[in-house]
Amino acid sequence: MKKIFCPIIICIFLLSDSYAQNFWKQTNGPLMDGANVSSLVTNSNDHLFADSNDGIFRSTDNGDYWVEIINNLTTVDINAIAINQNNHIFIGTWDGIFLSTNNGDNWVQKNDGLSGLGLHISSLVINSKGHIYAGTSGEGIFLSTNGGENWLPVNNGLTQDFIGPLTVNSKDDIFLGCSEGVFKTTNNGENWIAVNNGLTNHWVVSLTTNKNDYMFICTFHRFLNTSTTFRSIDFGENWSQFQINNISNYQIRLFSFENSDVVYAGTDL
């Protein structure tokens, strides 16, 4: 199993009984105290990439040493990272999308088709065909089928323009979370349908899929300040609630890694 190091997630819980032992250790993370890491990904060479509102960082030695990689970026406020099968890295920022084809050493802006609030990228995901989906904070979701060269809006069926987390399953179905629950497309974004059966709260703050295509989400009730976690084993058609070790009073970020059935849950405390 790949070693995964999380620089600033302080409380981690594993949703798997087979990983009961405590094996986490603090790394020499590059981030200042209080930085908000929204993505942690690996490429095929086991290089780690972490983003924050202070930039993007790379580690080539399992997190022991980190380097800031912001050459040619117009902003360091980064919200999302996605890596395709060619190890090309896409990042979503408040100034659009940037691409690196040399492991983060240099970045090129890829905003053709994005403007206004469409430049405020909140999430990214790439399917097995290399198609890239970009969620925005105010203009819905955009799709590129040519490596980020051009972007087109794909919002038919969506009832919310502020897009939260994105995930993809083994069938290349794309799922998104927003304040109105979970939406799903099975036809490359041509149509979206709500898949909220069983959800008691629709404000989705995190969303992930493991290698078995089981889906996990966390919803957050802003007025009660409580989180609720749900699981779906039928491609989002139905959701059932589950509990994570008495941490319902915090926003929970769920994440998983390719080819793993383990799902991790992190909080800010």
Is 10 a residue whose pLDDT tops 60?
Answer: no
Q: How far is CA 144 from the centre of its chain?
A: 17
Whole-angstrom distance, CA of residue 128 vs CA of residue 85: 8
Q: Dihedral angle at the C-alpha atoms of 11, 14, 17, 21, nearest 10 degrees? A: -50
Is 75 a residue whose pLDDT tops 80?
Answer: yes
Q: Which of 59-63, 77-81, 146-150, 195-199 has the lowest mean pLDDT?
A: 59-63
pLDDT of residue 2: 37
Is 112 a residue whose pLDDT tops 60?
Answer: yes
Pair 227, 249: CB distance under 8 Å: yes
pLDDT of residue 9: 37
pLDDT of residue 25: 61
How much of the chain exceeds pLDDT 70, in percent? 76
Is 50 a residue whose pLDDT tops 80?
Answer: yes
In this prediction, residue 20 has a pLDDT band, given cuts at 50, 70 and 90, of: very low
Is 139 a residue whose pLDDT tops 50?
Answer: yes
Q: Which of 6-10, 95-99, 163-167, 218-222 has the lowest mean pLDDT?
A: 6-10
Instruction: Name the average pLDDT for the chain.
Output: 83
**Mean pLDDT (whole number) for 246-250:** 52
Higher pLDDT, 61 or 105: 105
Question: Distance of CA 117 to CAs 44, 109, 111, 114, 139, Å?
Answer: 33, 16, 12, 8, 6
Pairing, β 132-136 against β 215-221: unpaired
Is 233 a residue whose pLDDT tops 50?
Answer: yes
Q: Which of 37-41, 68-72, 148-152, 229-233 has the lowest mean pLDDT?
A: 37-41
The residues near 131 (Cβ < 8 Å, ≥ 6 apart) are 143, 144, 145, 188
pLDDT of residue 118: 87
Is 22 a residue whose pLDDT tops 80?
Answer: no
Is 1 a residue whose pLDDT tops 50?
Answer: no
pLDDT of residue 43: 92
Whole-angstrom distance, CA of residue 192 vs CA of residue 245: 34
pTM across the whole model: 0.84
Question: Distance of CA 186 to CAs 17, 140, 189, 194, 228, Å?
Answer: 32, 17, 7, 12, 26
Pair 92, 117: CB distance under 8 Å: no
Higher pLDDT, 212 or 190: 190
Domain 11-267: give its CATH superfamily: YVTN repeat-like/Quinoprotein amine dehydrogenase (2.130.10.10)
Tokens representing 142 are 């955009």
